[in-house]
C-alpha cells in the first residue's frame, strides 16, 4: 500500500482536480481521503479530519449514515438508473411527491439534473422558453446580482459574476443586466428600479436568497428578498431562487425562502444537500404558471427539448427520499438552530476580537470569517485553512474568507473543536 506521498504522486499522474492548479497541487498538502466515519474524514494514513466544509457544502447528516447507505442498497436491488426521457421511475415519483409539500413553490413540478449548475442552466432555459411559448420574443435577458455564483456551465457562468479565475471566460458569457449585491447600501432600491426599467427584456431574475455563498457568505435580509419578489410581480418578470447552497437546512430552515414570508418564486433550483451529500442529484422546480406555458400538442414547439443521460437517477432519488425523512425524524433543524447559536457565541468571543478578523457573517450554519490582510498577496485565507487542516479540521477558504459549513448534525463538542482550531490558526497566521 502506498503512503500519503505515494498516493499524491498517483493522484497527480492521473486525476485533474477542479479549481486547483495541478502544478502546485502536490505541494499544497492535499488530504487524500480513504474513508469516513460520521463527520470525520480518514486519510490513507489513518489521520482524521473534521469535515468542517461538508465536502464543499453537500454533506448534511454526515458520512456513512447507516439509513442512507441502506436506502441505496435497497434501491440497488430494484434498479440503479432508468431514463426520464419519455418514461418514469417509481422512486423518482416518490421523491417529487415528498418534496412537493416542502418547497415554497406553487404546485411544483421537478425537472431533475445531476449538478447544481445543470439545474440552473435548465431554469434559465425554461424562463426564456416560458416567454417564447407565449409569443414574447423580447425577453432574452436576466437580472443577476454582483457577487452571484450559479455554477460553471457557460449559461450559469453568464448569470454569475466572475471571479475565482473565471474572468477568462468573459468572451463566452452572454450579457445580463447586473445590479449590486442585495446586502450593499441602496442595493434593494437600485434593483427595484432596474427591474422596472428593463422589465420588457427580462426573462427572469436569478437570486441566491439570503446568502450568496461563493461571494464569501455575503448576506441580506428577508425584506430584500420580499422587495425583489414584489418588484418582479409588479413588472411581470419571473423569479428564480437558486437554493443550491442554501437549501436543505443550512440556513436554519429547510429553505432560505421559508424565512421570507409571502415569497413564492416561479422557479427554484435545488442541489448539493438534496441527497445528504451522497450522490449527484439536482432539480429545477417549476411553478404551475411556468408548467402550464409548456403544455401543448405532442411534438409541438411548446415542449422543453432538454434532458441529460443521468437526469433523475434512481439511486440518487432513493437516498434523497430517505434523507428527507431523516431530516424530520431526527429533528435536524433543531440541532442547526442550537449549533448555530453556539457558533455565534464562540466565534464572537474567540475569533471576532483577533487581529486580522474584519467581519464574521453567519446565517444558520453558513459562516464566513472575513480576514483583512494589511497588503495583497499574503494569502491569509489559504494559510489559515492549511493551519486548520494541520489541527485536524478541514477548511477551504474563498479568497480571504474562511468558510465554516459544518454538517447539520455537528455536535456541541465538534463546534468547540472547529472554533478552537480556527482561533488558533488565525492567531498563528495573522498575529496576535
Ligand atoms: C448558489 C449556487 N448555485 C449553483 C452552484 C453550482 O452547483 P454545482 O457545483 O453542483 O454545479 C453552486 C455551487 O457552489 C452554488 O453555490
C-alpha closest to that of 347 among 221, 217, 225, 257? 217
CB 421 within 8 A of CB 48: no
CB 242 within 8 A of CB 272: no
How far apart CA 373 and CA 385 sit, in angstroms, is 15
Name residues whose C-beta falls within 8 Å of residue 315's C-beta, 6 or more positions apart in sequence: 72, 75, 76, 80, 81, 279
Test site for ligand 1: of 122, 158, 214, 270, most ligand atoms within 8 A of the Cβ: 214
Q: Which of helix, strand or coil describes residue 55?
A: helix
Residues spanned by CATH 3.40.640.10 within the chain?
A: 68-329
Please say if the pLDDT value at position 165 is more than 90.
no
pLDDT mean over 56-83: 98
Measured from the CB, is residue 407 less than 6 Å from ligand 1?
A: no
Residue 80 cell numbers, joined: 440503479
Condensed to tens digits (0 to 9), the pLDDT of residues 25-52 reads 999 999 999 999 999 999 999 999 999 9
Domain 31-61+331-430: which CATH class? alpha beta
**Mean pLDDT rounded to a whole number for the chain:** 97
Residues spanned by CATH 3.90.1150.10 within the chain?
A: 31-61+331-430
Test site for ligand 1: of 245, 255, 282, 366, most ligand atoms within 8 A of the Cβ: 245
How far apart CA 375 and CA 390 sit, in angstroms, is 25
What is the per-residue pLDDT for 164? 81
Condensed to tens digits (0 to 9), the pLDDT of residues 240-286 reads 999 999 999 999 999 999 999 999 999 999 999 999 999 999 999 99
CB 75 within 8 A of CB 314: yes
CATH code matching the domain that covers 68-329, chosen among 2.40.50.140, 3.40.640.10, 1.10.287.610, 3.40.50.10310: 3.40.640.10
The protein residue with its alpha carbon nearest to ligand 1, atom 13, reads 151
Atom of ligand 1 nearest to the CA of 272: 10
Confidence of residue 1 (pLDDT cuts 50, 70, 90): low
Measured from the CB, is residue 53 less than 6 Å from ligand 1?
A: no
Measured from the CB, is residue 91 less than 6 Å from ligand 1?
A: no
Condensed to tens digits (0 to 9), the pLDDT of residues 415-427 reads 999 999 999 999 9
Confidence of residue 3 (pLDDT cuts 50, 70, 90): very high
Please say if the pLDDT value at position 110 is more than 60.
yes
φ, ψ at 143 (rounded to 5°): -95, 125
How far apart CA 177 and CA 197 sit, in angstroms, is 11
- Distance (angstroms) between ligand 1 centre and the Cα of 120 equals 8
C-alpha closest to that of 238 among 198, 265, 200, 257? 265
Amino acid at each position: 500500500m502506498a503512503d500519503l506521498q505515494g498516493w499524491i504522486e498517483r493522484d497527480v499522474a492521473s486525476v485533474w482536480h477542479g479549481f486547483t492548479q495541478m502544478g502546485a497541487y502536490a505541494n499544497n498538502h492535499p488530504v487524500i481521503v480513504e474513508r469516513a466515519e460520521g463527520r470525520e474524514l480518514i486519510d490513507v494514513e489513518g489521520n482524521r479530519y473534521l469535515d468542517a466544509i461538508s465536502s464543499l457544502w453537500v454533506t448534511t447528516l454526515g458520512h456513512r449514515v447507516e439509513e442512507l447507505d441502506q436506502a441505496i442498497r435497497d434501491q440497488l436491488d430494484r434498479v440503479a438508473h432508468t431514463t426520464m426521457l419519455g418514461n418514469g421511475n417509481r422512486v423518482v415519483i416518490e421523491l417529487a411527491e415528498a418534496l412537493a409539500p416542502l418547497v415554497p413553490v406553487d404546485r411544483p413540478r421537478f425537472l431533475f439534473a445531476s449538478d447544481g449548475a445543470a439545474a440552473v442552466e435548465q431554469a434559465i432555459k425554461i424562463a426564456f422558453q416560458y416567454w417564447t411559448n407565449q409569443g414574447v420574443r423580447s425577453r432574452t435577458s436576466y437580472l443577476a446580482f454582483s457577487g452571484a455564483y450559479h455554477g460553471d456551465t457557460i449559461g450559469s457562468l453568464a448569470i454569475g459574476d466572475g471571479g475565482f479565475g473565471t474572468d477568462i471566460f468573459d468572451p463566452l458569457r452572454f450579457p445580463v443586466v447586473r445590479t449590486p449585491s442585495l446586502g450593499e447600501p441602496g442595493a434593494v432600491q437600485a434593483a427595484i428600479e432596474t427591474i422596472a426599467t428593463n422589465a420588457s427584456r427580462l426573462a427572469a431574475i436569478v437570486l441566491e436568497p439570503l446568502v450568496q455563498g461563493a461571494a464569501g457568505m455575503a448576506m441580506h435580509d428577508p425584506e430584500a428578498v420580499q422587495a425583489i419578489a414584489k418588484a418582479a410581480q409588479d413588472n411581470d418578470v419571473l423569479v428564480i431562487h437558486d437554493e443550491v447552497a442554501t437549501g436543505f437546512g443550512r440556513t436554519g430552515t429547510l429553505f432560505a425562502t421559508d424565512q421570507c414570508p409571502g415569497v413564492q418564486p416561479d422557479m427554484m433550483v435545488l442541489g448539493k444537500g438534496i441527497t445528504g451529500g451522497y450522490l449527484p442529484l439536482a432539480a429545477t422546480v417549476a411553478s404551475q404558471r411556468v408548467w402550464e406555458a409548456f403544455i401543448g400538442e405532442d411534438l409541438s414547439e411548446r415542449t422543453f427539448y432538454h434532458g441529460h443521460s443521468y437526469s433523475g437517477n434512481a439511486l440518487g432519488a432513493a437516498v434523497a427520499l430517505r434523507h428527507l425523512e431523516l431530516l424530520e425524524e431526527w429533528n435536524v433543524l433543531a440541532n442547526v438552530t442550537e449549533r448555530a447559536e453556539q457558533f455565534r457565541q464562540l466565534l464572537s468571543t474567540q475569533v471576532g476580537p483577533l487581529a486580522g478578523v474584519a467581519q464574521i457573517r453567519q446565517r444558520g450554519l453558513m459562516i464566513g470569517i472575513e480576514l483583512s490582510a494589511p497588503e495583497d498577496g499574503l494569502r491569509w485565507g489559504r494559510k489559515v485553512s492549511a493551519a486548520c487542516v494541520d489541527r485536524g479540521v478541514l477548511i477551504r477558504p474563498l479568497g480571504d474568507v474562511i468558510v465554516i459549513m459544518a454538517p447539520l448534525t455537528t455536535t456541541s463538542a465538534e463546534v468547540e473543536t472547529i472554533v478552537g482550531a480556527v482561533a488558533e490558526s488565525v492567531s498563528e497566521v495573522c498575529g496576535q
